[in-house]
Amino acid sequence: MKFKELATVSGKPGLYKVLKPTRSGVILEALDEKKSKLVVGASQRVSILSEISIYTTTEEGAIALEDVMKKIEKEFKGDLGVDGTADADELKAFLKHVLPEFDEDRVYASDIKKLITWYQIIRKQVPESLEEVVAEEGADANVESSEDSKEA
């Protein structure tokens, strides 16, 4: 499962798998043990994880949530040492370790709590999402290196 198939609904906890669109919204399935289904109408805000990013102080101004999750998985392999109940300073220190260039003025402790909670849900329910990202990165690097050799 890819990040473009995962969503969050404003005002509802957890993450959801996008099943299919309807005329008036979208059908989602909760990423938990219950696997309950939910029809979300146009009046509710649904955000696809592949479209979410974290503010940075770099020239680009943001980094994709998918890239941050990939960094977390690569470094911690699920053992974060911090959870969503940690205090704000601890959360910021964690994100500073993973993403030193994050914008401390625009990324709030609540955002970091969501990041950690979502990471834990993905790691538990759809760990292949994090693995696919690593596999795709290797494939992309191979494509780029073969394109560079063609240009030379």
pLDDT in tens, 45-73: 999 999 999 999 999 999 999 889 988 88
Asked if 71 and 137 touch (Cβ cutoff 8 Å), the reply is: no
32 token code pair: 């938990």
Share of the chain above pLDDT 90, in %: 39
Q: Where in the chain is the domain with CATH 2.30.30.730?
A: 3-49
| pLDDT-based confidence at residue 42 (cuts at 50, 70, 90) | confident
What confidence category does residue 11 fall into, taking pLDDT thresholds of 50, 70 and 90? confident
Confidence (pTM): 0.79
The residues of the chain that CATH labels 1.10.10.1650 are 52-135
39 vs 101: CA distance, rounded Å: 38
Backbone angles phi, psi at 8, to 5 degrees: -125, 150
CATH fold label, 52-135: Arc Repressor Mutant, subunit A (1.10.10)
In the CATH scheme, what is the code of domain 3-49? 2.30.30.730
Least confident range from 45-59, 89-103, 116-130, 131-145: namely 131-145
Find tokens 């909670």 and name the residue. Answer: 117
40 vs 152: which has the higher pLDDT: 40
DSSP β-ladder status, 25-30 and 62-64? unpaired
pLDDT above 70: residue 25: yes
Q: Which amino acid is at 123?
A: R
Does pLDDT of 149 surpass 50? no
CA distance 3 to 52: 10
Decide: 69 and 122 in contact? Cβ < 8 Å.
Answer: yes
**DSSP-assigned beta bridge partners for residue 41:** 25
Average pLDDT over residues 132-144: 45
The larger pLDDT score, comparing residue 14 to residue 126, is at 14
